[in-house]
Amino acid sequence: MKTPLDGFVLWFTWLACSGKSTTADLVYQLLHERGYKHIQRLDGDDVRQHLCKDLWFSQEDRVKNLERVSFVAELLSKNGAWVIATFISPFEKERKNIRNKVKNYIEVFVDTPLEICEKRDVKGMYGKARSGIIQEFTGVSSPYEIPLNPDIIITTDSPLEENCEKILAYLVAKKYIV
Amino acid sequence: MKTPLDGFVLWFTWLACSGKSTTADLVYQLLHERGYKHIQRLDGDDVRQHLCKDLWFSQEDRVKNLERVSFVAELLSKNGAWVIATFISPFEKERKNIRNKVKNYIEVFVDTPLEICEKRDVKGMYGKARSGIIQEFTGVSSPYEIPLNPDIIITTDSPLEENCEKILAYLVAKKYIV
């Protein structure tokens, strides 16, 4: 069993239904298949259930949510774990804070057009956001600030597998994996 | 540099000023000196500052605090880190929940008599608790349930160094360290 060479945080950002989790899950699986362990998926649902039950989706609560998540990501990565995190994380300031705080932050901008995200709408959330049932929904009624310096950009022009290979190639180039 | 054989959580419980942090800090230092890395201290002050800013010391908030801490301890230990945690953690039910949840939970009961804890009173907290300025203070105005099945008991009958050696000997016996 290979052991991680160094901890890192692979941070997927952009809208709901953009493909963050699907891509992240496959990257996780591919790393596992290559024999790496100590890899931790962190996602919004899981974290909100265990760490942030008290928080909602106001701008203030989104900031608090990311503060707690980044604290956890920091502890994990400095102890050698690989964190694969998927959070909408709409504000550049908070993403920058996380980059400054955690060890080896790698920002992945999942640049899927809003139109496509909305067409997927797996949980019917965009529909509810458009009709006002869900308020402060990122991309519809709450802002998203485009990443200024993402480390990796993936788009729907390439299939899922190619996007994952691009991410793994980045990890190899930066010597996180061999 | 040696790498950890397996993650664990060394959980120190009992009253304020009982010696939890002093003992835990020295255990941390001794493990570091032996060449181990990926060891994470978690303590009440640090966690309340980063993860639980919103929580106070009511029974309900204490439970929430431990829920979040145990989530973090779980993530760290399952990713191979050694967690050295110091929390008053007054309720048997919550300690049992943590034991069930985290990988390799080792409970250290720091059995210092209340009278001695109170005499130390480094931050003047017991004085404030006795005079009612601080409310719901464990051991004075809030209950502490004695651990039913601690893995290690340390007392003030032995000097600090001996207590730490006892803990390290336990880790060797259980094959967490060599």
Per-domain boundaries in chain B: 8-173
| Tens-place pLDDT, residues B90-149 | 999 999 999 999 989 999 999 999 999 999 988 899 999 999 998 888 999 989 999 999
Q: Tell me the count of A-B CB pairs closer than 8 A.
A: 55
Name residues whose C-beta falls within 8 Å of residue A135's C-beta, 6 or more positions apart in sequence: A57, A129, A141
Q: Look at residue B58 in the predicted model and tell me its pLDDT.
A: 75
| Tens-place pLDDT, residues A60-99 | 787 888 888 999 999 999 999 999 999 999 999 999 999 9
**CA A111 – CA B63 distance, rounded (Å):** 40
Mutate to test the interface with A, among B47, B63, B75 (most CBs of A within 10 A): B75
Overall average pLDDT of the A118-141 stretch: 91
Q: How far is B92 from chain A (nearest CA, A)?
A: 20
| Tens-place pLDDT, residues A152-175 | 999 988 999 999 999 999 999 999
**Cα-flanking dihedrals φ and ψ of residue B83, to 5°?**
-105, 130
Residues of chain B contacting A40 with CB distance shorter than 8 Å: 75, 78-79
| Tens-place pLDDT, residues B43-98 | 977 777 777 777 777 777 878 888 889 999 999 999 999 999 999 999 999 999 99
**CA B93 – CA B15 distance, rounded (Å):** 17
Q: How far is A42 from chain B (nearest CA, A)?
A: 10
Q: Which range, of A20-34, A41-55, B117-131, B135-149, averages the lowest pLDDT?
A: A41-55
Q: Are A70 and A97 in contact (CB under 8 A)?
A: yes
Name residues whose C-beta falls within 8 Å of residue B154's C-beta, 6 or more positions apart in sequence: B19, B23, B108, B109, B110, B111, B163, B166, B167
Structure tokens at A146: 């485009």
Overall average pLDDT of the A43-68 stretch: 78
**CA A170 – CA B11 distance, rounded (Å):** 39
Q: Are A30 and B13 in contact (CB under 8 A)?
A: no
Cα–chain-centroid distance for residue B95? 11
Q: Look at residue B2 in the predicted model and tell me its pLDDT.
A: 45
Overall average pLDDT of the A12-18 stretch: 94
Name residues whose C-beta falls within 8 Å of residue A136's C-beta, 6 or more positions apart in sequence: A57, A58, A59, A142
Q: Where are the alpha helices (DSSP H) in chain A?
A: 20-33, 44-50, 59-78, 92-101, 114-120, 125-130, 160-173
Q: Are B15 and B8 in contact (CB under 8 A)?
A: no
Q: Which range, of A44-58, A89-103, B8-22, averages the lowest pLDDT?
A: A44-58
Is A89 assigned a catalytic role? yes
Overall average pLDDT of the A136-156 stretch: 93
Q: Please report the ipTM that was assigned to this predicted complex.
A: 0.83
More confident residue, A56 or A19: A19
Residue with the two structure tokens 């797996």: A122
A80·B80 Cβ contact <8 A: yes
Structure tokens at A21: 């989790």
Structure tokens at B169: 């000997």
- Report the CATH fold assignment for A8-173: Rossmann fold (3.40.50)
Name residues whose C-beta falls within 8 Å of residue B175's C-beta, 6 or more positions apart in sequence: B5
* CA atoms within 13 A of residue B46's CA, in its CB half-sphere: 14
Q: Where are the alpha helices (DSSP H) in B17-159?
A: 20-33, 44-50, 59-78, 92-101, 114-120, 125-130
Look at residue A56 and tell me whether its pLDDT is greater than 90: no
Residue among A37, A64, A79 whose CB faces B76 most closely: A79
Mutate to test the interface with B, among A9, A52, A79, A102 (most CBs of B within 10 A): A79
Look at residue B21 and tell me whether its pLDDT is greater than 80: yes
